[in-house]
């Protein structure tokens, strides 16, 4: 059986073993893979806790805080940097890879509310005279 395979696919065993290795993911495609979860991704940082306490009651992201502390840490870290925070929200709320599962509806709603709140507060700060 193997000889028949080698006769039809390659002229010798040596030639068959020199066949190219199976294709792997290109670096550009492999880079989007989620990094493995670290211990600090499972808890809110002190700065994220302080950030969350400073939000108005109607904006407070209860479900996001409970289910995705890693994301809250990321948002809190960039909150004061409008372009960076806009990029984080864009990354979280858009599906550039295709086939992304997405967040549960409550979490997605909280993220969109936070995004709008951030945009409104930062656009007011930018338009205020110095």
DSSP class per residue in 52-107: HHTS-TTT--HHHHHH-HHHHHHHHHHTT-HHHHHHHHHHHH--SSSS-----HHH
So what's the pLDDT on residue 38? 73
Per-residue pLDDT of the chain (130 residues; tens, 9 = 90+): 444 444 444 444 444 444 444 444 444 444 545 566 676 678 999 999 999 999 999 999 999 999 999 999 999 999 999 999 999 999 999 987 777 788 999 999 999 999 999 999 887 555 555 5
Structural domain total, the chain:
1
So what's the pLDDT on residue 42? 84
So what's the pLDDT on residue 98? 79
- Here the tokens at position 29 are 């495609």
So what's the pLDDT on residue 127? 52
Kindly report whether the global pTM for this prediction surpasses the value 0.95: no
- Does residue 115 lie within any of the structural domains? yes
So what's the pLDDT on residue 99? 78
Quickly tell me which residue has 């507060």 as its tokens.
121
Range of the domain at 108: 37-127
- Does residue 45 lie within any of the structural domains? yes
So what's the pLDDT on residue 39? 67
User: Using N-to-C axis directions, what is the helix angle for 69-78 and 46-53, rounded to 10°?
Assistant: 80
Give the residue from 63, 62, 71 showing the smallest Cα distance to 42: 71
So what's the pLDDT on residue 34? 57
């Amino acid at each position: 059986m193997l000889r028949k395979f080698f006769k039809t696919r390659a002229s010798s065993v040596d030639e068959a073993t020199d066949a190219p290795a199976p294709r792997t993911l290109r670096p550009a495609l492999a880079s989007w893979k989620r990094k493995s979860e670290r211990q600090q991704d499972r808890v809110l940082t002190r700065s994220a806790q302080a950030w969350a306490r400073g939000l108005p009651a109607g904006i407070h992201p209860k479900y996001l805080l409970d289910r995705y502390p890693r994301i809250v840490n990321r948002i809190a870290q960039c909150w004061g940097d409008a372009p960076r925070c806009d990029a984080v929200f864009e990354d979280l709320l858009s599906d550039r890879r295709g086939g992304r599962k997405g967040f549960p509806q409550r979490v997605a709603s909280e993220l969109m509310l936070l995004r709008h709140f951030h945009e409104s507060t930062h656009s007011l700060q930018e338009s205020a005279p110095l």
